[in-house]
Structure 1
Amino acid sequence: MRTAWLQLFRFGREQALSCVFPMVIFASLAVTKLIPLPWLPRYDWLLLLCLVMQWGMVRSGLETRDELKVITMFHLIGLALELFKVHMGSWSYPEEGYSKVFGVPLYSGFMYASVASYLCQAWRRLKVELIGWPPFPAVVPLAVMIYANFFTHHFWIDVRWWLSALVLLVFWRTRVAYEVGGTRYRMPLALSFVLIGLFIWIAENVATFFGAWEYPDQSGSWRLVHLGKVSSWLLLVIVSFLIVATLKLVKERQVDKSGQPKKR
């Protein structure tokens, strides 16, 4: 029992260290909400804080240049989704800001980038290995369909549950192997999707409490984000994981073929 608790502590510590970027974002949201900063609107301060944090992560070696490329891609993917969702009225950013584009503050892309940052950090710290990973022709179209559904369900039927079932089918035999304290463990990939999605939903409640964004039913006063949003975050986590995993596997194949690591 003592060993089990020690391993749980070690696992939690590695998870916390992998969440440096998201925790800085939460701290920035809290500080700027409780302490009005001078000269610039709050959204602009948040953008500056995120940029400084990103620079510091790369400068300190907490993130590599390759990981920065992945995170930047997620920033752009997230901004595209934000622009569409805000336009459709799914949520809003009611405060003023010089860095807002079509009602979306540019700092919002960092919230998606922080998910990619967590995945890259956890992948490296826990020495993640994928077992039974399906072929790329099955993975890539699935990721595209999941991302596309965030847009198309406004004009067509919402197929998120069909996509979730497809995820279970495609990744039924896939396992995630990871290391804690020198011991290797395995868990079903689908279970890891659910756990990460649930924790992001909890984080979403914290973020909306500090005014990161606002859902229509929160315009009068803050209330708990509907539990149904877990399914949305679950699908977003799946897309994020598929992209990161695909890029990691491609990089590993390049290393295997050349016999030496590719320059970053």
Structure 2
Amino acid sequence: MGLTPLKLPARLHDFVTFVYLEALCCIFPAVIMLSLALSKYIDLPIPRYDFMLIVCLIMQAVMVLSKLETLDELKVICLFHVFGLALELWKVHHGSWAYPEFAYSKIWDVPIYSGFMYASVASYICQAWRRFGLRFSEYPHWTANLFAILLYLNFFTNHYIEDQRWGLAVALVVMMWNTRVHFNINQRDYQMPLTLSFLLIGLFIWLAENISTFYGAWQYPNQTEIWQRVHYSKISSWSLLVILSFVLIAKLKGIKSLSRASIQKAS
């Protein structure tokens, strides 16, 4: 007599599937963190930041060639690389953090690989969007686009005027109070407040940031002499950056859907 396969309760099965799919969505950032850890303890024939750039380029190629990412997603990720690198150049110039190690692939004291850390956030969102079949109810399209612009500008202007992140955060919570993200696991539908998902993703990025700075990805001013935990306030920064990333991806996906619908109607 054969053994009967072990059947998990439906909700537990969905949770296991959720964790598995989340792990697939996090492959790119996981490779970045693993490479940072390994490069801290092994001797490299090239500067460490240059090594990280090569790893990121190879990993990006693998993601596309293996179909883990689509060409459309690659375009979005490249756009985030540019946005992230611009933000890095500004923040490093104003002393918010630093990349102390030498590298040939540095531009104004910022290693090019740093843009991939922002791109990996976009990679996660794009893959989650596809793997979970994300849908949204009561999503405020136009006001969300406006707030995304204000959020990005605030990362630059907070060196000259008072930081507006908390005001923007409160306004966003009010604006998206009724917005829900709907997702599918094993043919069953789930939903949660969209703002809660932003906070949770920001929290996990903050945890990843602690690991990354521990392994020397970059340094905050208070980490120059000895590593210290990244301040809790950075959770809000990452959550707002996730909102910016999400809104931009939603806008790009919306434009593409509209374009396809127009083509079909015209034909």
Give the TM-score, by structure 1 length. Answer: 0.95
Match of 1:157 among 149, 162, 185: 162
The residue aligned with 1:133 is 139
* Cα distance in 1, alignment partners of residues 184 and 214 from structure 2: 35
Letter in 2 for 1:29: L
* Cα distance in 2, alignment partners of residues 49 and 236 from structure 1: 24
The residue aligned with 1:167 is 172
Q: Is 1:76 the equivalent of 2:82?
A: yes
* Cα distance in 1, alignment partners of residues 18 and 258 from structure 2: 28
CA displacement 1:53-103 (0-9 Å, x = unmatched): 111111111111111111011000000000010011010000000001111
The residue aligned with 1:114 is 120
Q: Is 1:240 the equivalent of 2:249?
A: no
Deviation at 1:246, TM superposition (A): 1.3
The residue aligned with 1:65 is 71
Letter in 1 for 2:204: F
2:133 partner SS: coil
The answer on whether the counterparts of 1:82 and 1:104 sit within 8 Å (CA) in structure 2 is yes
Deviation at 1:6, TM superposition (A): 1.9
1:259 partner SS: helix
2:259 partner SS: helix
The residue aligned with 2:26 is 19
Q: Is 1:231 the equivalent of 2:255?
A: no
* Cα distance in 1, alignment partners of residues 262 and 192 from structure 2: 29
CA displacement 1:95-123 (0-9 Å, x = unmatched): 00000111100000000000000000111
* Cα distance in 1, alignment partners of residues 239 and 156 from structure 2: 16
1:212 partner SS: coil
Q: Is 1:199 the equivalent of 2:204?
A: yes
1:185 partner SS: strand
Seq. identity, %: 52
Letter in 1 for 2:55: L
Deviation at 1:7, TM superposition (A): 1.4
RMSD over aligned CA atoms reads 1.2
* Cα distance in 2, alignment partners of residues 71 and 243 from structure 1: 11
Letter in 2 for 1:229: K
Letter in 2 for 1:163: L
Aligned length: 258
Give the TM-score, by structure 2 length. Answer: 0.94
The residue aligned with 2:97 is 91
1:179 partner SS: strand
Q: Is 1:100 the equivalent of 2:87?
A: no
- Unpaired runs of 5+ residues, structure 2, are 1-7
Q: Is 1:219 the equivalent of 2:230?
A: no
Please list, as runs of the form range in 1=range in 2, the aligned pairs for 1:182-197 lying within 5 A after superposition: 182-197=187-202
* Cα distance in 1, alignment partners of residues 116 and 42 from structure 2: 21
* Cα distance in 1, alignment partners of residues 226 and 75 from structure 2: 38
* Cα distance in 2, alignment partners of residues 178 and 248 from structure 1: 17
* Cα distance in 1, alignment partners of residues 61 and 70 from structure 2: 11
Deviation at 1:26, TM superposition (A): 0.8
Deviation at 1:259, TM superposition (A): 2.8
The answer on whether the counterparts of 1:36 and 1:42 sit within 8 Å (CA) in structure 2 is no
Letter in 2 for 1:49: V
The residue aligned with 1:2 is 9
Greater shift after overlay, 126-135 or 185-194? 126-135
Q: Is 1:250 the equivalent of 2:255?
A: yes
Deviation at 1:196, TM superposition (A): 0.4
* Cα distance in 2, alignment partners of residues 63 and 226 from structure 1: 33
Letter in 2 for 1:142: F
Moved over 3 A (4+): none
Deviation at 1:169, TM superposition (A): 2.1
